A = this chain, B = another copy of it.
Amino acid sequence: MNKEDYFIQQFTNQTKLIGDDAAVVGNMVYSQDAFFENVHFKREWMSLKQIASKAMLVNISDAIAMNAKPLYALLTVAIPKDFSTSDLRKLANGFKKVANDYGIKIIGGDTISNEKLDISITIISQTSNPKYRADAKIGDLVCYTGTLGSCKKDLKKLLKGKKVPSKAKFIKPKLKGDFFYDISKYVNASLDISDGLFFELQRVSKASKVGFEFFDEISPEVGTSGEEYEMLFTFPKKHLEKVMLSAKNHKVPLNIFAKVIKGSYKTTAKNHHF
């Protein structure tokens, strides 16, 4: 067990709310994610606006994965001492643009002076029908949205000092909220793919106590690509047509790649996240 998981385990006896992408209390959903320089990104990889934008989007992705609509955000931003007012405006504009796109109000937070740019965001969302990792049922179909693999490739490029296009998903995640909200009534279990498909499947297996029968082999390039922020979900076979029709209407590629079976699933792949 790594240190992060060990630390989290210290709290899981206290509450059953920990362990999904966000915590559900009544019809409110709370998620908090860090987006730290040299942990989640390097500054030379992206513009300040892109950094702020991605920090917001990865947090919004958690809300979508719980089938919740984000309403409010709290931003804690640790600002490097050498930032100019122009830098600060660019950063603020990144936050505001995404907040505006998603109808989110930025209601507070904290700013401090720090060595590096470390962002921590809380998203407050609302749902009438929360979705969890633990609700996959035997016989469910398992699918993910979009295509997987580009983020791992782009991360490799960036780590080698190469550039990637600004429209790349690694720079700007392409969330599938509209589609997912539309089909959520058919969904049993869901989460977003932040640490790679294989890793997320292991989470579903552990939470739902199920295994998977794969229809085709999934290559490591696809299965271990992290920071994709695509949706991974399971649904009863009887809803297949409705789910596929909605995917078509929303122009969301859908990859139905496995069936939920009795058993368990473990991956030997490493948690692939910069």
Contact = CB atoms under 8 A, between A and B. Distances in A.
A122 to B, nearest CB: 4
B3 A113 contact: yes
A17 interface: yes
Nearest to A118: B118
Interface string A61-82: 0000000000010111111000
A107 B17 contact: yes
Give the residue among A74, A92, A110 with the most B Cβ atoms within 10 A.
Answer: A110
A73 to B, nearest CB: 10
A191 interface: no
B39 A89 contact: no
Task: Name A's interface SS.
Answer: strand
A155 to B, nearest CB: 16
User: What is the total number of copies of this protein in its complex?
Assistant: 2
Contacts of A23: 72, 74, 107-108
A18 interface: yes
Contacts of A115: 38
Interface string A103-114: 001111111111
A96 interface: yes
B89 A10 contact: yes
A194 to B, nearest CB: 11
Interface string A9-41: 011001101100011010010111110101110
Contact of A15 (B11, B79, B105, B124): B105
Contacts of A85: 3, 6
A107 B31 CA distance: 9
A4 interface: yes
Given A15-B106, A92-B7, A30 B112 contact: no
11 contacts: A7-B92, A10-B89, A15-B105, A18-B107, A23-B108, A31-B74, A32-B122, A33-B110, A34-B78, A39-B113, A39-B114
Interface of A: 3-4, 6-8, 10-11, 14-15, 17-18, 22-23, 25, 28, 30-34, 36, 38-40, 72, 74-79, 83, 85, 88-89, 91-93, 95-96, 99, 105-115, 118, 120, 122, 124
Which 6 residue pairs are nearest across A and B when measured between Cβ atoms?
A10-B92, A23-B107, A120-B120, A23-B108, A32-B74, A4-B111
